[in-house]
């Protein structure tokens, strides 16, 4: 009887830990929504950034679409909060009206060069800009740089 109870308890704990691993935790107080904002490929993640811009979801961009290492480092360096960073992103989008237009062009016509962990999306006739993506686990994130280094 003790063996059966022990086996059931172990299987319950193991099953519970697998279920928790499958759920992506909230980040910066924002729940992930991979159905609405997919990140399975560099182009899908870029399209998700565009959708988040259209929906004025700077919170989602900050929490789930920008490369998390950059976001964490920037918040630490500037002693900022997620709310202040969201406002910074929203202000940038309003000030740089061409930003979303550029992203859309890269999303629609860009050619992707992909390695295991990184991707670069370039336009055929544009040599001074590119979109850089980074894969962490199974998700792709946009890095905070657009200029090519050549």
Asked, for residue 91, whether it belongs to a domain, the answer is: yes
Asked, for residue 150, whether it belongs to a domain, the answer is: no
Asked, for residue 6, whether it belongs to a domain, the answer is: no
pLDDT averaged over consecutive 10-residue blocks of the chain (150 residues)?
A: 36 33 81 96 95 92 94 90 86 79 89 95 90 95 74
**pLDDT 10s digits, 12-30:** 333 333 333 358 899 999 9
pLDDT score recorded for residue 144: 87
SS (H, E, C) 109-135: HCEEEECCCEEEEECCCCCCECEEEEE
Asked, for residue 107, whether it belongs to a domain, the answer is: yes
Q: Which domain holds residue 132?
A: 25-142
SS3 142: strand
The predicted model scores a pTM of 0.79
Residue 145 near residue 138 (C-beta atoms within 8 A): no
Number of structural domains in the chain: 1
pLDDT score recorded for residue 13: 33
pLDDT score recorded for residue 102: 85
CA distance 70 to 85: 12
Asked, for residue 68, whether it belongs to a domain, the answer is: yes
């Amino acid at each position: 009887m003790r063996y059966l109870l022990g086996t059931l308890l172990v299987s319950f704990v193991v099953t519970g830990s697998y279920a928790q691993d499958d759920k992506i935790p909230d980040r910066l107080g924002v729940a992930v929504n991979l159905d609405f904002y997919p990140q399975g490929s560099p182009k899908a993640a870029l399209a998700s950034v565009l959708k988040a811009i259209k929906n004025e979801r700077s919170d989602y961009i900050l929490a789930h679409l920008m490369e998390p290492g950059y976001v964490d480092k920037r918040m630490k360096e500037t002693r900022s909060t997620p709310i202040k960073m969201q406002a910074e992103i929203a202000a940038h989008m309003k000030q740089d009206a061409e930003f979303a237009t550029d992203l859309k062009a890269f999303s629609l016509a860009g050619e992707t060069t992909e390695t295991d962990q990184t991707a670069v999306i370039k336009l055929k006739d544009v040599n001074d800009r590119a979109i850089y993506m980074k894969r962490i686990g199974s998700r792709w994130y946009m890095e905070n740089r657009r200029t090519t280094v050549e």
